Chain A
């Protein structure tokens, strides 16, 4: 019993310590983000890594999600004779939930794990210490560009996911299941509001922050050699994915 309580206490202490360090890292990153010199090249490099290099995966995810959503909602709505609602169902689901959440999870798996691995390797091979000894602030140089890239690129990727999801849904609904294209598009426009799209974009900004901050934190404070780097990559994906799902629920309940 004593050993169990001790281990529980230790885990809680580590969790609180981690959250505190992450909050301090975010605070410092926010401060350094606006302090000169601002190296745009580093930021663009990260934007290319997070955004452009994730395009293929989000297009694939978005289009197939839209397609399967159309298929499933058609099967359900047909029972009530409401096939014309397939379009709005796909568009609303993509814009409010699936677009931002799936983009968040996919980019976390691809870019978040790579970020944690890169920073973790830099930590265990003393490259982060080398930056410090050259009077270059490692948080400003390594963490700030990654967080800014996440905040900027996640919304753009989400818009692309939403768009290809709607196109995928249209393809299945109209071309494969025979819904009238005029009705499909008309109903979609009738039901989907600009607010729905903004809700998704707002969520994606938060998810971008979560993914990049968690990955940066896990990578930056890696210890324990190659094993530690692997652990940092795994923890960053698990931690960021859980935080994305939890924060999605919280934001959905506030923005409903």
Chain B
């Protein structure tokens, strides 16, 4: 469904993406892992159009989305949802305002119908009676849940997650993993996640891809990755300081 071909991006002298090639299957959960600063977020931002590549293509159903006009890409964006690392909730709006924002902007629905959908999505992420709360009053885990409800409110085909468990305790991380699985299985949506949380990855991934030095060095199912003997992958999955990846 999504095919990333030879994607390259440099910021000044630093080559962050150096020819990324990756296929993301429709209706599956693909997790991109890698060390902090390896360009995972940069890759995600290219998929959703927040950054333009120096070279390479991203094909969505065969169409190169990096070469689209602003207007055409705006239509493509309606097929996407995104959960940001800090949830990126609009702090001037209530939870209901945040979750229902895209419906208000892109549909002719009245406030009552929007609120109905907002409640349904909040229920799906395990939240009730929080519609009138402001983002500042929510805990980290609740913010992520509201962020996910906002990301899926338009029933997108593809949802991107930028480090969904960063800053959460292990129990909350596990509950986010359950939530990711529940919502994905229920909606049959394509989920693309970036993380360096290995237990979380093992629990949810249909496919894992490891980004290292600007390239995807290994990819496969959880079992394939566990059996893979690439020393770089092994060091990362086992969380060892010693190995071919230098600590800096």
Q: Find chain A residues with CB under 8 A from B78 CB.
A: 135
For the complex, give the distance between the alpha carbons of A125 and B78 in Å: 22
Within 8 A of B (CB), among A56-114: none
- With both beta carbons as reference points, the residue of chain B lying nearest to A126 in the complex is identified as B88
**Measured between C-beta atoms, what is the minimum distance from B161 to chain A in Å?**
12
For the complex with contacts A129-B45, A136-B101, 13 further pairs of A-B residues with Cβ separation under 8 Å are: A121-B91, A126-B86, A127-B91, A129-B84, A129-B88, A130-B84, A130-B88, A130-B89, A132-B49, A132-B77, A134-B105, A135-B106, A136-B102
Within 8 A of A (CB), among B56-93: 74-75, 77-78, 80-82, 84-86, 88-91
A126 & B106 in contact (Cβ 8 Å cutoff): no
The residues of B with any CB-CB pair to A shorter than 8 Å are: 45, 48-50, 74-75, 77-78, 80-82, 84-86, 88-91, 101-102, 105-106
For the complex, give the distance between the alpha carbons of A129 and B101 in Å: 14
Other-chain contact of A126, B49, B80, B84 (Cβ < 8 Å): B84
**Measured between C-beta atoms, what is the minimum distance from A122 to chain B in Å?**
8
Within 8 A of B (CB), among A115-168: 121-122, 125-127, 129-130, 132-137
Q: Are A132 and B50 CB-contacts (below 8 A) given A125-B86, A127-B90?
A: yes
A129 & B50 in contact (Cβ 8 Å cutoff): yes
For the complex, give the distance between the alpha carbons of A121 and B81 in Å: 22
Other-chain contact of B101, A121, A126, A134 (Cβ < 8 Å): A134
A135 & B77 in contact (Cβ 8 Å cutoff): yes
B90 & A133 in contact (Cβ 8 Å cutoff): no
**Measured between C-beta atoms, what is the minimum distance from A120 to chain B in Å?**
13
For the complex, give the distance between the alpha carbons of A133 and B87 in Å: 13
Other-chain contact of B105, A125, A129, A132, A136 (Cβ < 8 Å): A136
B50 & A133 in contact (Cβ 8 Å cutoff): yes
- With both beta carbons as reference points, the residue of chain B lying nearest to A118 in the complex is identified as B92
- With both beta carbons as reference points, the residue of chain B lying nearest to A128 in the complex is identified as B88
For the complex, give the distance between the alpha carbons of A127 and B78 in Å: 17
B102 & A130 in contact (Cβ 8 Å cutoff): no
- With both beta carbons as reference points, the residue of chain B lying nearest to A137 in the complex is identified as B74
For the complex, give the distance between the alpha carbons of A205 and B78 in Å: 37
The 5 closest A-B pairs by CB, nearest first: A135-B77, A126-B88, A130-B88, A133-B82, A134-B102
Q: Which of A122, A132, A133 has the most CB of B within 10 A?
A: A133
For the complex, give the distance between the alpha carbons of A45 and B113 in Å: 24
Q: Find chain B residues with CB under 8 A from A122 CB.
A: 90
Other-chain contact of A134, B45, B77, B86 (Cβ < 8 Å): B77
For the complex, give the distance between the alpha carbons of A129 and B49 in Å: 10
For the complex, give the distance between the alpha carbons of A241 and B74 in Å: 36
A133 & B86 in contact (Cβ 8 Å cutoff): no
For the complex, give the distance between the alpha carbons of A130 and B90 in Å: 9
Q: Find chain B residues with CB under 8 A from A132 CB.
A: 49-50, 77
**Measured between C-beta atoms, what is the minimum distance from B89 to chain A in Å?**
8
- With both beta carbons as reference points, the residue of chain A lying nearest to B106 in the complex is identified as A135
For the complex, give the distance between the alpha carbons of A136 and B106 in Å: 9
**Measured between C-beta atoms, what is the minimum distance from A231 to chain B in Å?**
20
Q: Find chain A residues with CB under 8 A from B86 CB.
A: 125-126
- With both beta carbons as reference points, the residue of chain A lying nearest to B70 in the complex is identified as A137
For the complex, give the distance between the alpha carbons of A135 and B90 in Å: 15
Q: List 9 A-B contacts (CB under 8 A).
A: A122-B90, A126-B85, A130-B89, A133-B48, A135-B77, A135-B78, A135-B102, A135-B105, A136-B105
Other-chain contact of A127, B82, B88, B102, B106 (Cβ < 8 Å): B88
For the complex, give the distance between the alpha carbons of A127 and B98 in Å: 11
Q: Find chain A residues with CB under 8 A from B77 CB.
A: 132-135
**Measured between C-beta atoms, what is the minimum distance from A229 to chain B in Å?**
13
Q: Which of A121, A122, A136, A137 has the most CB of B within 10 A?
A: A136
Q: Find chain A residues with CB under 8 A from B91 CB.
A: 121, 125, 127
**Measured between C-beta atoms, what is the minimum distance from A31 to chain B in Å?**
11
Q: Find chain B residues with CB under 8 A from A129 CB.
A: 45, 50, 84, 88
For the complex, give the distance between the alpha carbons of A130 and B135 in Å: 15
B48 & A135 in contact (Cβ 8 Å cutoff): no
**Measured between C-beta atoms, what is the minimum distance from A30 to chain B in Å?**
16
**Measured between C-beta atoms, what is the minimum distance from B81 to chain A in Å?**
8
Q: Which of A122, A125, A130, A136 has the most CB of B within 10 A?
A: A130
Q: Find chain B residues with CB under 8 A from A137 CB.
A: 74
For the complex, give the distance between the alpha carbons of A132 and B74 in Å: 9
For the complex, give the distance between the alpha carbons of A134 and B160 in Å: 12
Q: Find chain A residues with CB under 8 A from B89 CB.
A: 127, 130
- With both beta carbons as reference points, the residue of chain B lying nearest to A121 in the complex is identified as B91
For the complex, give the distance between the alpha carbons of A125 and B81 in Å: 17
